[in-house]
């Protein structure tokens, strides 16, 4: 009788509910979810991985390698999270056996370079490479007409982005290049990103932006440019961005904003301007008028202050009078 019960268990629920050593598993009619977060784990948990696994999360382990054969054990996998492990490289055919994969999260590993074709997977929609050691970006990572809608390469060591890097990502909606070492972006870098909604360029070393950079990103609603080295912006930079809802320019080196830069923005538009060395002379008149006309569109308005000239130092820009600006014009 005991043998019969064990045999039935092996052929039915017990076999289905197997779970890899050092991992925890949860099961539902839609598939299994597996989480492995044991710091002592050194190998990819292939053994006993439920064949109906749809989500596999491996985090904060000692795993340093992964092969495409490892994913053969989970043909229904849709989400693969491999964050804060010890991965230093990826095989070019990593996703060969993951035809259903939509989300790949490689945050917090030790990746320096990636091979061509590594993300050539039609089903892939979200790719996170945040907080690695990547030194270069390569358009050959992706297939033509990639399905990606989210790409996060923030927190790496990128000093430049090749013009063609993003050209295959025509469906991209969210792009994060923040916390890198980018000095400039070529005019055509974003030209195929007609569906882009969010662009994060914060914490780079950008000192200027090409006036036609956002020419083809007319659906852009959130633009993060804070903590760069921007000294000036061209009047036409935001032309055509009628859907822009959020613009962050704080912690740059701007002394004024050019005429017409913010014209045409809707009533829900919000921005942050703090942490810039605003110089309150005649070139400040456009921003001064805009702030007074749209005080509810600016966060921390009382912290937008003059650094000069001396007579207006530390004054809130919005509090200035036209007469004071006229006097400053002659200083």
Q: Over the stretch 196-218, which tens digit does the pLDDT of each residue have?
A: 999 999 999 999 999 999 999 99
Q: What is the DSSP string of 38-72?
A: -TT--S---TT--TTEEEEEE-SS------GGGGG
Q: What is the DSSP string of 261-310?
A: TTTT--TT-EEE-TTS-EE-SGGGHHHHHHHHH-GGGEETGGG-BEEESG
- Residue 324: pLDDT band by 50, 70, 90 thresholds? confident
Residue 3 predicted with pLDDT over 50 = no
The answer to whether residue 229 sits within a structural domain is no
pLDDT for position 313: 95
The answer to whether residue 178 sits within a structural domain is no
For residue 263, what are the CA distances in angstroms to 105, 252, 295? 39, 21, 14
The answer to whether residue 301 sits within a structural domain is no
Tokens standing for 48?
Answer: 């006993």
Smallest Cα–Cα separation from 151: which of 180, 181, 130, 134? Answer: 130
Greater confidence (329 vs 4) lies with 329
- Residue 323: pLDDT band by 50, 70, 90 thresholds? confident
Residue 35 predicted with pLDDT over 80 = yes
The answer to whether residue 157 sits within a structural domain is no
Residue 73 predicted with pLDDT over 60 = yes
Structural domain that includes position 32: 12-106
High-pLDDT (> 90) share of the chain, %: 90
Residue 161 predicted with pLDDT over 50 = yes
- Residue 48: pLDDT band by 50, 70, 90 thresholds? very high
Contact 206, 189 (CB under 8 A): no
pLDDT for position 4: 39
- Residue 326: pLDDT band by 50, 70, 90 thresholds? confident
The arithmetic mean of pLDDT across residues 70-97, rounded, is 97
Q: How many CB atoms lie within 10 A of CB 303?
A: 14
The answer to whether residue 239 sits within a structural domain is no
Q: Over the stretch 251-279, which tens digit does the pLDDT of each residue have?
A: 999 999 999 999 989 889 999 999 999 99
pLDDT for position 16: 53
pLDDT for position 2: 44
Total domains present in the chain: 1
pLDDT for position 233: 97
The answer to whether residue 230 sits within a structural domain is no
- Residue 222: pLDDT band by 50, 70, 90 thresholds? very high
pLDDT for position 281: 92
The arithmetic mean of pLDDT across residues 159-171, rounded, is 96
Q: What sign does the CA torsion over 111, 165, 202, 81 have?
A: negative
pLDDT for position 278: 98
Contact 284, 325 (CB under 8 A): yes
Q: pTM of this prediction? A: 0.93
Mean pLDDT of all residues in the chain? Answer: 93
The answer to whether residue 37 sits within a structural domain is yes
High-pLDDT (> 70) share of the chain, %: 94
- Residue 10: pLDDT band by 50, 70, 90 thresholds? very low
Residue 172 predicted with pLDDT over 50 = yes
Q: What is the CATH number of the domain that holds 67?
A: 3.80.10.10
The answer to whether residue 139 sits within a structural domain is no
Q: Over the stretch 275-319, which tens digit does the pLDDT of each residue have?
A: 999 999 999 999 999 999 999 999 999 999 999 999 999 999 999
């Amino acid at each position: 009788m005991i043998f019969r019960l064990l045999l039935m268990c092996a052929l039915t629920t017990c076999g289905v509910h197997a779970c890899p050593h050092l991992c925890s598993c949860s099961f539902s009619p839609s598939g299994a979810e597996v989480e492995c977060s044991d710091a002592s784990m050194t190998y990819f948990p292939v053994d006993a991985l439920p064949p109906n696994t749809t989500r596999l999360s491996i985090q904060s382990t000692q795993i340093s390698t992964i092969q495409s054969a490892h994913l053969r054990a989970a043909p229904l996998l849709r989400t693969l999270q491999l964050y804060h492990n010890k991965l230093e490289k990826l095989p070019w055919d990593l996703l060969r056996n993951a035809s259903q994969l939509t989300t790949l999260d490689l945050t917090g590993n030790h990746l320096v370079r990636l091979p061509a074709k590594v993300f050539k997977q039609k089903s892939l929609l979200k790719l996170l490479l945040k907080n690695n050691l990547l030194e270069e970006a390569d358009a050959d990572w992706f297939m033509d007409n990639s399905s990606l809608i989210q790409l996060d390469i923030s927190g790496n060591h990128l000093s430049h982005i090749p013009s063609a890097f993003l050209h295959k990502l025509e469906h991209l909606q969210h792009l994060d290049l923040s916390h890198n070492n980018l000095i400039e972006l070529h005019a055509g870098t974003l030209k195929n990103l007609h569906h882009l909604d969010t662009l994060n360029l914060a914490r780079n070393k950008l000192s200027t932006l090409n006036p036609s950079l956002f020419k083809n990103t007319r659906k852009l609603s959130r633009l993060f440019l804070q903590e760069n080295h921007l000294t000036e912006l061209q009047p036409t930079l935001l032309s055509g961005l009628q859907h822009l809802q959020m613009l962050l320019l704080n912690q740059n080196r701007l002394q004024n904003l050019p005429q017409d830069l913010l014209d045409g923005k809707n009533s829900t538009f919000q921005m942050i301007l703090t942490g810039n060395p605003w110089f309150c002379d005649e070139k400040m008149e456009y921003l001064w008028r805009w702030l007074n006309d749209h005080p509810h569109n600016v966060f921390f308005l009382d912290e937008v202050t003059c650094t000069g000239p001396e007579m207006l130092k530390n004054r809130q820009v919005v509090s200035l009078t036209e007469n004071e600006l006229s006097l400053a014009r002659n200083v």
